[in-house]
Structure formats: structure tokens, C-alpha cells
Amino acid sequence: MLAIRPTRKLLLLFVPGVALAAAGGNALAVVVALNLLVIVAFLLDARAASVARPRVTREPPRTVMREKAFPITYTIENASSRAATVAVEDRFPADVEPREVNLRVHLPPGAAETRSFTLTCRRRGRFPLPPPTITFTGPLGLARATADIDAAAESTLAVIADVSALGRFEALRRHRRLHEMGIALTRARGQGTEIDALRPYAVGDPYGAVSWKATARRGRPVVRETRAERRQNVLLVLDCGRRMAREVEGRSRLDHSIEAALLLGDVAIRSDDRVGLIAFADRLVAQVAPRGGESQLHALATATHTLEPILREPPYLAMSGAILGRFPRRGLTVLFTDSTEPSSVESLAGCVRQLAARHLVLVVLFKDEYIERSRDEAIRDVADLFRIGAASELALERAKALEGLRRTGALVIEAAAEGLSTSVVNRYLEVKAAHLI
């Protein structure tokens, strides 16, 4: 839509006529003639401005990472035979910084110019980008035209979780410096269970390794050589319920969980495992079937970038039944949640117990930093005494809840938000090394 408005220059051209009219006399005809001339000039200028409309192209990236700088490029083209001054105004959603981009260029006939700006987005999700507004004047400078870029220029900015730790993990792994991320590689121990080959019995081989069927067929003792399984299923389960909306360091617990889950998924894929994902609140909100390969990590990031906490109580038992129905094959199920309140522990424990009957379950919980700090504070007055007493009582309830989860047969991690990723990866590596899956 094109809107034409007068400029300040046009208004100034009416000043001589107003002055003559104020002077009185027989100048009325001259005043009318001058004003008509100005109006005709304005209409001609407006027509020329509408015909010589410049072209503006905006090029945002398709996918960016949360809180990571990304470029956005504008190309302004003047296809007319006259010079043009073009102003572009672009507004962005509340979570994008800066909120506005304004630029002004003067272009000779047939010229084009490209400008780039750097932005960041504080939150994951899909953000619509309305078309920018362009403003330009006619050749006489009397008419100002304002228009939006074509509707096709409206786009969507996809902001995924911050997965920069993946690149850092791989770089440190190649240089054998993973300890800098707090990740300790564990040497594999024990026997594998996948049969690699059969060979004749040798002195010192354990009797449990003898293949009695092969021995009977060949008429001499034969043992099985085994190797550790490599390709296993790892299922990332994200609780998107109300408790995951609580913020730590300005971000929801779900945000921290997603970043930890994506790092774990990358490590598992590099270990030749198949990785899948389920996200749920009061219903199933996302699902990715277990697969391997580099493209799977992109599928996981795409499935999680629009997830937001839903302020409802998750039906844990129903979700465990849905998980077992969709993923019956044994694997490692990593559940990211924060449900250790007494009111929810019983249903969560029932869910974990049901999953543990077929899967190895790892429950990942957030350590409550406020409780930890309150317990360590010095007592200065009665209010401090009551606060420390309440924190100690909550800590005991939480410890009891964690013990109840461990009795279901699950592995349990309780970690602070900043150390969640490394804690999860370390436990996964320990599970792989010990052949627990």
C-alpha cells in the first residue's frame, strides 16, 4: 500500500501566497494562481514518486541461535532515471535486539546499495518479521511516499537453543582436552554382549564364553568372541510442564534442559547411537523417532526450538505408557524434569518404575540453588533462623524424594543449571563404558 504525504518543502511554497493575501490589495488572483501552481507541482511530483518506487530486499538468516549475533542485510535499488533518497524503517519482536533498524541512502539513477546490521535474540521460538517500511520523495521534493515492501518479504526467524557447546565439545575432543568442559572420559570395562565371531577354545577362556551349540556341531570346544554394542537407542524426554517454567539465571529450566539434551544427543550420535526425542506437558507436544547420522541433530534442534513451558500438571503415568508404546525397544531414556515436590513424587516415581521395567532410565533434576544458599547462610537474627530451618526441611524432603526415585531402579542426577550439560554427558559416558544399556 502506497501513501502520499506532503513534505515540509511543499508547505513552505504556500508561504508567499499567504503573505500576499495578508497584505491585501488586488493580489487575490496572483495568490490563487501561485497556489494552483504549487498544487499541480505536488500532484506531478507525487505521480513521479509512485512510478519511480525503489526496490528494497531484506535477507535475514533462516535459523539463528539464541543470544548469538546474526546478520541481516538490506539491498536498496533505484531503478528510475532520477536520483532518489530512500529511508528504510524495520521493527522487530520484543525479544530481538535492537528493536529497530533505520537507514537512509541517496542513490544515483540505476544504482544499488547494500547495508548489513547485527542483531541478537534472547529467546527460542519462531518470530514473524513484518515487512519493513520504505519512505522516498519525488524528484521535486514536494511529495513523500511511504510503502511496505511486498507481502512476500514477510518472513519468520527461527531461533534455536544455544548449541555452541557442540562445536566446543568436538574441538576439545579432537585435542583430548575435554576436561576443560568438565567431561571425564571413562575407559570401557567388562564384556560386550554382541557376538563378533566364533573361535576354537584356548586355555584360560571362561567357561561362560563356550558356545555349546557350535561345540556340538564342530566336535571340538568353540567359544564366542563378543564386542560391546555400539548402536543403541537413546531417548531424550523433556518435561514441558509448569515446574519447568521456573527461571534460573534469566532462563527457564526448560531452556537449560533443551541445551543439555542437544549436547547429549550430539555426543550420542557421534558414539554411533540412535537418538530420539519426546516432549510432553499435559499432552505430547513433540516427537522425533530415534535415528543416527548428522542430520538427526538438526531434526532434534528443529523439534525443540518452539517448545515453551505449559502451566499445567503433566500426567506422568500416561506419558510413560505412551513412551513404551512408541519405543518398545530397550534403550537409555533420559528424563529432564524438576518434579520432586511431595505432591508429584508419587506419580513421577510410578512413571519411572514403569519405564525402568523395559528401559534404563536416567532422571535429570535441577539442584535448588536457593535452598543450598539458604542453608549455608550465617544466622544473624530470628528471621534467618526460621529461613534456614525451612530450607533444611525442604532439603530433607527433596533428599527423600530422590531416594524414592533411585529405589525405582533409575539413575538420578541432581545438578545446577550451569553444570547440567556436563553432568548429563558424563553419566552417559559412564553408562556406555559400563555396558549398562
Strands 194-200 vs 222-227: parallel, antiparallel or unpaired? antiparallel
137 with 204, same domain: the answer is no
Tell me the pTM.
0.70
386 with 417, same domain: the answer is yes
Number of compact structural domains in the chain:
3
pLDDT in tens, 93-149: 888 999 999 999 888 888 999 999 999 998 888 888 888 888 888 777 787 788 776
Query: 3-class SS at 408?
Result: coil
214 with 337, same domain: the answer is no
**CATH number, domain containing residue 375:** 3.40.50.410
77 with 92, same domain: the answer is yes
pLDDT in tens, 283-314: 999 999 999 988 998 899 889 988 999 999 89
Task: Report d(CA 288, CA 294) in Å as an integer.
Answer: 14
Task: Report d(CA 238, CA 292) in Å as an integer.
Answer: 19
341 with 204, same domain: the answer is no
Residues in the chain: 437
- Location of C-alpha cell 532520477: 82
Are the C-beta atoms of residues 288 and 303 closer than 8 Å to each other?
Answer: yes
Are the C-beta atoms of residues 313 and 242 closer than 8 Å to each other?
Answer: yes
213 with 253, same domain: the answer is no
Boundaries of domain holding 255? 164-170+175-185+230-433
List the strands of the sheet with 133-137, edge to edge. 2-6, 143-148, 133-137, 84-91, 100-107
253 with 400, same domain: the answer is yes
**For the residues 386-399, what does the mean pLDDT come to?**
78
334 with 429, same domain: the answer is yes
| Secondary structure element (H or E) that encloses residue 238, with its range | strand 233-239
Task: Report d(CA 95, CA 88) in Å as an integer.
Answer: 21
Q: Look at residue 102 in the predicted model and tell me its pLDDT.
A: 92
Task: Report d(CA 4, CA 347) in Å as an integer.
Answer: 64
Over pLDDT 90: what percentage of the chain?
27
- Location of C-alpha cell 533462623: 385
389 with 258, same domain: the answer is yes
Please check the confidence at residue 50 and state whether its pLDDT lies above 70: yes
Establish whether the linkage from the previous residue to 309 is cis, with ω within 30° of 0. Answer: no
Task: Report d(CA 298, CA 277) in Å as an integer.
Answer: 12
* Number of other CB atoms surrounding residue 224 within 10 Å: 18
130 with 180, same domain: the answer is no
Task: Report d(CA 422, CA 59) in Å as an integer.
Answer: 36
318 with 416, same domain: the answer is yes
pLDDT in tens, 178-191: 655 566 655 544 45
23 with 89, same domain: the answer is yes
